[in-house]
Amino acid sequence: SQIHKGDYLHFMEKEIFEQPKVVKDTLLYACKQENGKQLENGKPEEYATPGAKQFSSARKDPENAENPDFSYEAFSMAEKDFQDISRVRVIACGSAYHAGWVLKSVCESLARVPVQVELASEFRYNHPILENGELVLSISQSGETADTLAAVKEAKKLGAKTLSIVNVKGSAIAKESDFVFYTQAGPEIAVATTKAYSCQLVAGYIFSLLLAKAKGKISREEASNLTEELFLLPGKVQQCLSMDQEILPMAKELKDADNIFFLGRGLDWAISMEGALKLKEISYIHCESYSSGELKHGTISLIEKDSPVIGLLSQEELAGKSISNIHEVRSRGAKCFAIKTEDIAIEEEDFAGSLSVAKTHPLFAGSLLVLPLQFLAYRVSLLKGFDPDKPRNLAKSVTVE
Ligand code: G6P
């Protein structure tokens, strides 16, 4: 059936606005099927309409009802399969690769299982070494990206177990993998991914949480607190939708820049990679993300008067250091902007503009920070007169090497 833009100007805008729903759908998909429905071929194909029905009846009063548990089966895996994982190798391209960096941070923090993130196009030609018990986890919206598919095949040849987090049912990567988790973003039309990336983040959180549980690394109480926090995300993502307009002043200040720098540490760095990609791919402005701590090892020589720098600040324990890095670039003339969670305090006079999203568990903050970054990219592209849905030279799905 044909997909329409409805009241939206572009698919990208429509897809940004769909995020509260698809984040929620992905959370629901990951929950136990209450009726204990058997999974066909060990893969949850028929989950396509997520556990939404039984869930809505179980949650008449969302304020008080208990959140359902996430289930290993949503990954078409058993608890034992999770227990057997000794390391994780993420392979992906583009935004999915950036989602992998978020998964790494969250998984290493919660489950204490080492995660290595690799570009799918590099994996095969890097003489890959896979250890016993190393799970190869591919992430792909389309499930058809040639490099990712080839990497999955290579991993299988090397004897690894393979899990894929994909959005398109029955896609090549899903079929090739031992285990599958289907993100519930629905069809994504705009070339620059928004909602599929958001769902990939959520899938990564749930994977990490289940792995932590299977490995006995978090208490029942911690697991239920994190689950509760995850179920608050759709509402907080919804709140971020107002940034469509709030971002305009920042978009206007940035639209004529030649280079834009994104800075962050830890998870904020991971999110900044996606923010920089989003903006560069549809505005054609050169954008790069830099880990704040690396500034003094080279990047800072690029800073001159009025160089725009966007600092991402959501990690309380790192914010002090990141802010001092922002002072360093500011004292060299940079024009700094902050995109942060509301709990991080900044001196407004240090910044030419700032936007705050709601507070959540720091591990999940990226799911909120990414909204203003998507809106920024969308608005700058429009201000420059481009079609954000169809950036030049790019394809939605790259099925050649
Ligand atoms: C293309 C798209 C990107 C996407 C990447 C990986 O380059 O333009 O938005 O992140 O492919 O695609 P996949 O379908 O594997 O997630």
Query: Could you tell me how far CA 246 lies from the centroid of its own chain?
Result: 22
DSSP 78: -
> Given this model, what pLDDT does residue 397 score?
83
Q: How far is CA 310 from the centre of its chain?
A: 18
Q: Can you read off the two tokens belonging to residue 75?
A: 């990954």
337 Cβ neighbours under 8 A, 6+ residues apart: 250, 253, 254, 308, 309, 310, 311, 351, 352, 353, 354
Distance 350 CA to ligand 1 centre (A): 36
The pLDDT tens digits of the residues spanning 163-201 come to 999 999 999 999 999 999 999 999 999 999 999 999 999
pLDDT of residue 32: 67
Query: CB-based contacts of 291: which residues, under 8 Å, 6+ apart?
Result: 263, 264, 265, 269
Active site residue 278: no
Distance 357 CA to ligand 1 centre (A): 26
pLDDT, tens digit, 9 for 90 and up, residues 359-386: 999 999 999 999 999 999 999 999 999 9
For residue 171, the CA-to-ligand 1 centroid distance in Å is 14
Tell me the torsion sign for CA atoms 178, 47, 27, 396: positive
Residue 43 has pLDDT above 50, yes or no: no
Does the Cβ of 193 fall within 6 Å of ligand 1?
yes
pLDDT tier, 277 (very low <50, low <70, confident <90, very high otherwise): very high
H or E element: which one contains 13? helix 11-17
CA-closest residue to ligand 1 atom 5: 94
- Find the helix packing angle between 220-240 and 366-383, rounded to 10°: 20
pLDDT over threshold 50, residue 57 = no
**Rounded Cα gap, residues 376 and 208, in angstroms:** 29
Test site for ligand 1: of 90, 91, 95, 273, most ligand atoms within 8 A of the Cβ: 95
Q: What are phi and psi of 338, to 5 degrees?
A: -120, 135
Instruction: Note whether 204 and 102 are within 8 A (CB).
Output: yes
Provide the pLDDT for residue 12: 97
Closest CA to 178 of 137, 223, 216: 137
Residue 1 — very low, low, confident or very high, per pLDDT cuts 50/70/90? low
- ipTM surpassing 0.90: yes
Residue 36 has pLDDT above 60, yes or no: no
